[in-house]
């Protein structure tokens, strides 16, 4: 009987895997034919490469697929022949998933992981002895140590039984013990393994709101705080809220962090790119915003929101307060939601720049809840703490009606709640040890040491990149990355075309094969057509930077000699 049922089930699955006109998801190509017809064109291509804003084609407004026009999956037909009995094929999968790309963990990283396995099995298999991952902002994977106070509090909260042991006072600082007691008293059941309120534990949200108020000098409401598993889920939640169809657009900076292009694609919207000005240190010009907004409208796209990343990723610039005021005024006048990605707010490396939150700027201009809709994103993954794996973060949501707030809460409730350890860590980031606390000196020493070291690394790498032939690199004012521009020889571009890769991807592949250093091609972030870049983190420890500089310098010289016109 069981075999009969199993056979019937298999037959049903085979039938379901064969597409018919009644199938709710019809086969679709992986890329629009107009993009595939020119596989070597850069993303956001223009008839006038020197002037990106001249683009008027509907393809000017793109989903994430266009950020990787050269990513070709295996043929759907060839895959179907190997997996003919599976119910899910490339023809039947959600086409939004096919359009989604995420460059910082893309093809080059996959190849790097394979090379890493090769080195483990045969240390002499490649002309380098290790892979150095400079592709993603993952500080602790590259040797950065966690902040002691934060980890002490987390450990005590996760294992509260040790709070009553006499030896605990000798192992943990007094303020960490006190903070753990305070936090546990705020958690229903004193259990970090239990669900919390869908917005996050109320007491922790109150702590975060107090930290925001102290930072900005304006009050914050804990009911405006939604705790999330890092900032990424918060971005997805807002895209779910704002995007109704492909006719809805989101203004995003180019270059941009691929989370935005990916989330817009997944939720079925349209990315409306605005170009940052590399010549002025990745400046954000209001005239560019207005031009792209008008072009979007003329193409039937309803722009719902503006994304601003400050400090910039991948570009590393820090916005001036006057520029932020212009951006706020633009969003207010145009009725746009301002989505402020501020996850690098602690990462400022130059004395002439300072972080100002968009919440502070709005309130200082006299704009309150009824004037502008603002969502601010923060994460424990960046800053000096670098706790990527703890998945803690939040968004502060202001300027939305109670009815819309109910909808945001409903979406948050679908995920039940964010993880409790991440919630605790987010509260600690916004309320670290104060003067007079036992941990204050060690905490400030660790924090200042990390940030000053990052500043040195940024400057060293910046100088090294600017010393290379055909390479120019703006200074890293903040964040964790450099985004140098490479003037590639014509022969290298032709070789890239032959290899069916974007020229900067071709360069990054060659760099990896020769040195083991992993960077991300600029084509994964978007760039002015006809220019080529790569993103490199500043995160390897100081004693590793000279080796990276040496490897990169040697490789670049050989590359340029090989392809010199």
Would you mind telling me the total number of residues written for the chain in this entry?
A: 565
Domains recognised in the chain with CATH numbers? 98-143+452-563 (3.90.1150.10), 195-430 (3.40.640.10)
pLDDT at 526 over 80: yes
Distance CA 112, CA 53 (A): 36
This prediction has a pTM of 0.81
60 — pLDDT class (breaks 50, 70, 90): very low
The H-or-E segment that residue 462 falls in is helix 440-466
Q: pLDDT by residue (tens digit) across 78-96?
A: 444 555 567 877 777 777 7
Measure the CA–CA gap between 334 and 112, rounded to whole angstroms.
45
Of 81 and 516, the structure prediction assigns the larger pLDDT to 516
Q: What is the mean pLDDT of residues 484-504?
A: 92
Angle at 482 between CA 380 and CA 394, to 5 degrees: 20
Share of the chain residues as helix, strand and coil, in percent rounded to the nearest 5: 50, 10, 40
> pLDDT by residue (tens digit) across 405-419?
888 888 887 888 888
The residue among 240 and 16 whose pLDDT is bigger is: 240
CB atoms within 10 A of CB 562: 12
Residue 565's pLDDT band (cuts 50, 70, 90): confident
Q: According to the model, what pLDDT value does residue 193 have?
A: 81
Edge-to-edge strand order for the sheet containing 302-309? 225-228, 393-398, 374-379, 337-341, 302-309, 248-254, 270-275
pLDDT of residue 557: 95
Return the pLDDT at 378: 94
Query: pLDDT tens digits, residue range 352-405?
Result: 999 999 999 999 999 998 899 999 999 999 989 988 888 899 999 999 998 988
Q: Between 87 and 491, whose confidence is greater?
A: 491
């Amino acid at each position: 009987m069981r075999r009969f049922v199993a056979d019937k089930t298999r037959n049903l699955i085979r039938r379901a895997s064969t597409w018919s006109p009644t199938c709710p998801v019809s086969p679709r190509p992986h890329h629009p034919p107009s993009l595939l017809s020119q596989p070597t064109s850069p993303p956001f291509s223009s008839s006038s490469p020197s002037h990106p804003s001249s683009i008027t084609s509907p393809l000017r407004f793109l989903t994430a697929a266009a950020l990787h026009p050269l990513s070709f999956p295996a043929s759907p037909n060839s895959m179907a022949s190997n997996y003919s009995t599976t119910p899910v094929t490339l023809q039947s999968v959600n086409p939004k998933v096919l359009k989604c790309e995420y460059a910082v963990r893309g093809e080059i990283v996959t190849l790097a992981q394979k090379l890493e396995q090769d080195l483990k099995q045969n240390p002499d298999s490649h002309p380098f002895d290790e892979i150095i991952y400079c592709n993603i902002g993952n500080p602790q994977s590259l040797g950065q140590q966690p902040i002691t106070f934060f980890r002490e509090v987390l450990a005590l909260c996760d294992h509260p039984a040790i709070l009553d042991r006499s030896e605990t006072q000798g192992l943990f600082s007094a303020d960490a013990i006190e903070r753990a007691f305070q936090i546990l008293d705020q958690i229903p059941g004193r259990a970090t393994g239990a669900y919390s309120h869908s917005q996050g534990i109320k007491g922790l949200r109150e702590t975060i709101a107090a930290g925001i108020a102290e930072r900005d000098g304006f009050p914050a409401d804990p009911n405006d705080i939604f705790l999330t598993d890092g900032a990424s889920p918060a971005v997805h939640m807002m895209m779910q809220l704002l995007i109704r169809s492909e006719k809805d657009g989101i203004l995003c900076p180019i270059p941009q962090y691929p989370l935005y292009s990916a989330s817009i694609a997944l939720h079925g919207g349209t990315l409306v790119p605005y170009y940052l000005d590399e010549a002025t240190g990745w400046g954000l010009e209001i005239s560019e915003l207005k031009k792209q907004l008008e072009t979007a409208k003329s193409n039937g796209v309803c722009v719902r929101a503006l994304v601003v990343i400050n400090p910039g990723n991948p570009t590393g610039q820090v916005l001036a307060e006057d520029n932020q005021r212009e951006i706020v005024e633009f969003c207010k006048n145009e009725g746009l939601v301002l989505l402020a990605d501020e996850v690098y707010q602690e990462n400022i490396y130059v004395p002439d720049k300072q972080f100002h939150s968009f919440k502070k700027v709005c309130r200082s201009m006299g704009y309150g809840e009824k004037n502008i809709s603002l969502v601010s994103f923060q994460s424990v993954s960046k800053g000096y703490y670098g706790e990527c794996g703890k998945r803690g973060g939040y968004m502060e949501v202001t300027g939305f009606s109670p009815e819309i707030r109910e909808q945001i809460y409903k979406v948050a409730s679908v995920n039940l709640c964010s993880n409790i350890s991440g919630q605790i860590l987010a509260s600690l980031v916004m309320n670290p040890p104060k003067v007079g606390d036992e941990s204050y000196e060690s905490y400030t020493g660790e924090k200042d040491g990390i940030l000053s070291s990052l500043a040195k690394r940024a400057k060293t790498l910046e100088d090294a990149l600017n010393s290379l032939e055909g390479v120019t690199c703006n200074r890293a004012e903040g964040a964790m990355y450099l985004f140098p521009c490479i003037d590639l020889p014509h022969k290298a571009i032709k070789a890239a075309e032959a290899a069916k890769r974007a020229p900067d991807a071709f360069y990054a592949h060659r760099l990896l094969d020769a040195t083991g250093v992993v960077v991300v091609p600029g084509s994964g972030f978007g760039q002015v057509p006809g220019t080529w870049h790569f993103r490199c983190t500043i995160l390897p420890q100081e004693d590793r930077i000279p080796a990276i500089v040496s490897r990169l310098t040697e490789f670049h010289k050989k590359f340029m000699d090989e392809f010199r016109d």
